[in-house]
A and B are shown apart, each in its own frame.
Chain A
Amino acid sequence: MISLKAKVGGIEFRNPFLLASGILDETYYSMKRVWDNEAGAIVTKSISINPSEGYLGPNIYVGRGYVLNAMGLPNPGINFFEIELEKLKKDKIQIIGSIFGSTVEDFVYLAKKMAKYCDAVELNLSCPHVKGVGSEIGSDPDMVYEIVKGIKKEVNIPVWAKLTPNIDNIVKLGMAAQEGGADAVVAINTVRAMHIDIKMKKPTLFNKIGGLSGPAIKPVGIASVYLLKKNLNIPVVGVGGIETIEDVLEYIMAGASAVQIGSAIVNKGVGIFHLLSEELYIYLKENGYDEISSLIGIAQD
């Protein structure tokens, strides 16, 4: 009996293909649409305490084999977002609440709110283009430790720490998250990057610096997941440049218990979740596996 189910810590998903944070996940309607298209779970847009409009445009540049974005973490703030979360909960949609802040207290406050509706919280410790939050605090292992520990002390909800690759050694961040009590780490967030329009003779993004995603960053993601899996005892969720079932299997063999899909939606649409589920089923069947668990980290050592 073949099962597509995936487990991250104590949470079970109907398949390992979760929607990555930041993509089609600001409204109940769009998150429901992705769920109805068979995503394993939905990771929400990163939510802060107060509303934020994000940056002016261009916010995005779609290049050859990559996507570059600097949205600037726009979100309606947790109070307004609760309206969307309530509807999702009513529909029994499995949600991971992504949150960001600049202090331990911000994160604890947001995690408490999210705990009412979500299976877990994902800490955005890794957005590479907004001042005072994201990777600016998430590059400091002590801060990662304090934030995770602060939440675990006060809230009874699984905590996933989403890590930045914009650092010499991502394992240091993973160790800090694990010591703080994190239930899983998520790797990677976008890679700090820029595109210059040579005719305009200017950076394309309004914010100049943005985050790189899509196939271009997959090898960075694979190395990060591999190293994290090797050095940690908690599960790793893989994200970065996944478009095909081969990409998915590569992440699983590196050590990912589940994966997240984001930028691939630009070219493949939300149908990608269903497609990958079918392809994973065929792979497992043809290769004599009942589930992905025996493949997780198989490329280690």
Chain B
Amino acid sequence: MYYITKVEKVIKEGEGLTTIRFRSPFAAYPGQFVMLWLPGVDSIPMSLSYLGDLKGVTSKSIGDATRKIEGLKVGDIIGIDGPLGNHFKIRGKKILVVAGGSGIASVITLIEYAKSLGKEVHVIFGAKTKREVIFEERIKNNSDGCIITTDDGSYGKKGTTIEALPEILGKGFDEIITCGPEVMMKKLFEISLQNNILFQASIERVMKCGHGICDSCSFGGFLVCKDGPIFTEMDLINNEEFGKSRLDRSGKRVFLK
């Protein structure tokens, strides 16, 4: 069921990164997503990057639907089906959040929530370039430490999130929470296993129905839309597809680089 609502705000967060804010009648938890209906274009899954009264999603322009989001104006009509999926469950006391690229949109509300619960929260956020570093103030205001990396060195530390990890891993985290490129998340998972740290990742797959029937978002025996998008170490440890393969729009399995 789509809830039809208006775009209340459009915020250009960075290069090709756009947030739209809208009113909706539901409550949602960090990590949940909605299917966003752009009439005549598509209906796509988007993590909520703002909870509360005026919700929001933040999209990176990579295809027709996301370019449409970039072009939305205040007052435009959109449809929202949600909130869908499960959500992050904070189990640790000292939490490391690692975000890669637009993956920050899925974990930013988790960072705020964890901090509001009095947890110690550290963040590593990696982007390609300075123009893709977003939500910096929200991160810094809600964390006990934040390392920003860029691939080209145009802002923060030059390099990747994984390269920045050793300098703070010694702090003794009891949970790692991540969203970003899956190959990065897979490396982090291996590190969390070696160090006996709890782990949660927000997983992305092609998603069509959003209601657990079409099998587009199949993820090694799980459905990202119903069983996910948040998966813990228990779900991932024997998952043959995590960090390895996903389905394209036709259902053909393609391998991650």
How far apart are A85's CB and chain B's nearest CB, in angstroms?
A: 13
Q: Which of A54-62, A138-146, A219-227 contacts B (4 or more CB under 8 A)?
A: A54-62
Q: Which residues from chain A contact B25 at a C-beta distance below 8 Å?
A: none
Other contacts beyond A22-B213, A57-B208, A74-B250: 6, CB < 8 A: A26-B216, A26-B247, A51-B252, A76-B251, A204-B2, A269-B212
| Cα–Cα, bound, A206→B2 (Å) | 13
Q: How many residues of A contact B (CB 8 A)?
A: 44
Q: Is A126 an interface residue (CB 8 A)?
A: no
Let me know if A266 and B213 touch, CB within 8 A.
yes
A interface residues with partner B (beta carbon < 8 Å):
22-27, 29-30, 32-33, 45, 51-54, 56-63, 67, 69, 71, 74-77, 80-81, 83, 197, 199-200, 202, 204, 206, 262-263, 265-266, 269
Q: Which residues from chain A contact B252 at a C-beta distance below 8 Å?
A: 51, 76-77, 80
Q: Which residues from chain B contact A67 at a C-beta distance below 8 Å?
A: 213
How far apart are B218's CB and chain A's nearest CB, in angstroms?
A: 4
Best-surrounded residue of A57, A75, A80 (most CB of chain B within 10 A)? A57
Q: Is B28 an interface residue (CB 8 A)?
A: no
Q: Which residues from chain B contact A52 at a C-beta distance below 8 Å?
A: 250
Q: Which residue of A lies closest to B77 (CB)?
A: A200
Shortest 4 CB-CB contacts between residues of A and residues of B: A57-B43, A199-B4, A76-B252, A26-B215
Let me know if B253 and A265 touch, CB within 8 A.
no
How far apart are B101's CB and chain A's nearest CB, in angstroms?
A: 23
Let me know if A60 and B214 touch, CB within 8 A.
yes
A-contact bits for B23-63, CB 8 A (1 contact / 0 none): 00000000000010101111110000000000000000000
Q: Is B180 an interface residue (CB 8 A)?
A: no
Let me know if A83 and B249 touch, CB within 8 A.
no
- Our pick among A29, A54, A200 for the contact of B220 (Cβ within 8 Å) is A29
Q: Is B181 an interface residue (CB 8 A)?
A: no
Best-surrounded residue of B42, B209, B249 (most CB of chain A within 10 A)? B209
Q: Which residues from chain A contact B222 at a C-beta distance below 8 Å?
A: 29
